[in-house]
Amino acid sequence: MPTQAEPTVQKLFDLTGKVTLITGGTGWLGSSFSAALAEAGGTVVISSRDADRARVAAESLPSPAGAHHHGVALDHTDATSIADGFQAAVETAGQVDILVNNGLDPIGNDLTDCTFEQFARHQANTAGYFELARLLRNHIVQREAKGSVILLGSMYGQVASYPDAYEGITPASPVAYHAHKGGVIHLARHLAAYYAKDRVRVNCISPGPFPPDRVNQDMVKQLCTKLPMKRMGKPYELKGTLLLLASDAGSYITGQNITVDGGWTSW
Ligand SMILES: NC(=O)c1ccc[n+]([C@@H]2O[C@H](COP(=O)([O-])OP(=O)(O)OC[C@H]3O[C@@H](n4cnc5c(N)ncnc54)[C@H](OP(=O)(O)O)[C@@H]3O)[C@@H](O)[C@H]2O)c1
């Protein structure tokens, strides 16, 4: 028997009083992540490259515990915009406790036509994830608080794509994306080791295929043949993992990559 009363499951997952900054919170998965953070009682600061888009998305979020949500402008490929956006989040919400590095400046090119400049430019996504994590860590240390950083990786940061999943349908998955997501997963481990003493946990969520409805349905069918579960993921199926890592329910988890992929990487 524990000597002290343990927190309940409800208490462990409760984000009341916590503020999350989420990049790309207007996107396909970002909308679902933002809703999850708000549904758990937290305050959410959505960032977008467009301040108005961020504000509109923030206003649409639920507030079960009376939290006010906010929107800020932030382009994570630009150091000045990162600093300004983070500062705006702190000023508007009073603090930031949780950072979800979810945004992605995409690239369409695959390994046959990606230029040197495009490849290098895509890695600015990784640099942005790092810079924001460092700002969150410094802010937490200054407040003598505790924090959580969640980075969006991908199954494609862990395994190569099957060439025959794309051949004859679409270009291969972008080579620069594989490099970015592989880097992000390892970035989480490195930062976790150094930030643990500062009470900042750093983890990664690696989704498998969660395509929006607009993607090529022939490719979707082909991807399903490669999946043990034979279907695509739905954004809400990432909510539980996000809340585990964001909240005190995951208070002893750091430096980890949690894969949510319908079994793609299991064989
Ligand atoms: N969907 C999947 O199947 C899947 C699978 C594995 C991993 N992931 C990862 O999950 C994350 C979200 O993916 P998603 O499918 O939801 O993509 P998405 O719908 O394209 O959303 C990404 C968001 O990133 C924002 N963004 C673009 N450029 C940015 C920049 N320079 N700085 C800051 N934000 C920027 C955009 O918002 P604004 O235009 O409002 O700025 C966009 O809404 C990504 O990191 C992605 O790699 C997705």
152 ligand 1 Cβ < 6 A: yes
Whole-number pLDDT of residue 4: 81
| Residue 225 CA, ligand 1 centroid: distance in Å | 25
Give the confidence band of 155 by pLDDT, cuts at 50, 70, 90.
very high
- The tens digit of pLDDT for each residue in 221-260 reads 999 999 999 999 999 999 999 999 999 999 999 999 999 9
Is 153 among the domain residues? yes
State the chain's mean pLDDT as an integer.
97
| Residue 188 CA, ligand 1 centroid: distance in Å | 18
207 ligand 1 Cβ < 6 A: yes
Is 266 among the domain residues? no
Whole-number pLDDT of residue 250: 98
Is 66 among the domain residues? yes
13 ligand 1 Cβ < 6 A: no
- Probe ligand 1: pick from 23, 26, 29, max atoms within 8 Å of CB? 29
Number of domains in the chain: 1
For residues 143-147, average pLDDT: 98
Whole-number pLDDT of residue 1: 64
255 ligand 1 Cβ < 6 A: no
39 ligand 1 Cβ < 6 A: no
- Probe ligand 1: pick from 104, 105, 204, 241, max atoms within 8 Å of CB? 104
Whose CA is closest to atom 1 on ligand 1?
210
| Residue 120 CA, ligand 1 centroid: distance in Å | 18
The percentage of the chain sitting over the pLDDT mark of 70, rounded to a whole number, equals 99
Rounded to an integer, what distance in angstroms lies between the CA atom of residue 3 and that of residue 228?
43
Whose CA is closest to atom 36 on ligand 1?
24
Whole-number pLDDT of residue 2: 64
- The tens digit of pLDDT for each residue in 158-183 reads 999 999 999 999 999 999 999 999 99
Closest-lying ligand 1 atom to the alpha carbon of residue 177 = 47
Is 267 among the domain residues? no
185 ligand 1 Cβ < 6 A: no
Burial class (CB in 10 A: 0-12, 13-18, 19+), 40: buried
CATH code, 225: 3.40.50.720
210 ligand 1 Cβ < 6 A: yes
> What string of H, E and C letters represents the secondary structure of the chain?
CCCCCCCCHHHHHCCCCCEEEEECCCCHHHHHHHHHHHHCCCEEEEEECCHHHHHHHHHCCCCCCCCCCEEEECCCCCHHHHHHHHHHHHHHHCCCCEEEECCCCCCCCCCCCCCHHHHHHHCHHHHHHHHHHHHHHHHHHHHCCCEEEEEECCHHHCCCCCHHHHCCCCCCCCHHHHHHHHHHHHHHHHHHHHHHHHCEEEEEEEECCCCCCCCCHHHHHHHHCCCCCCCCCCHHHHHHHHHHHHCHHHCCCCCCEEEECCCHHHC
Tell me the residue range of the domain where 129 lies: 9-258
Whole-number pLDDT of residue 127: 98
Is 2 among the domain residues? no
Is 82 among the domain residues? yes
Is 104 among the domain residues? yes
pTM above 0.95, yes or no: yes
- The tens digit of pLDDT for each residue in 49-98 reads 999 999 999 999 999 999 999 999 999 999 999 999 999 999 999 999 99
Is 3 among the domain residues? no
Whole-number pLDDT of residue 27: 97
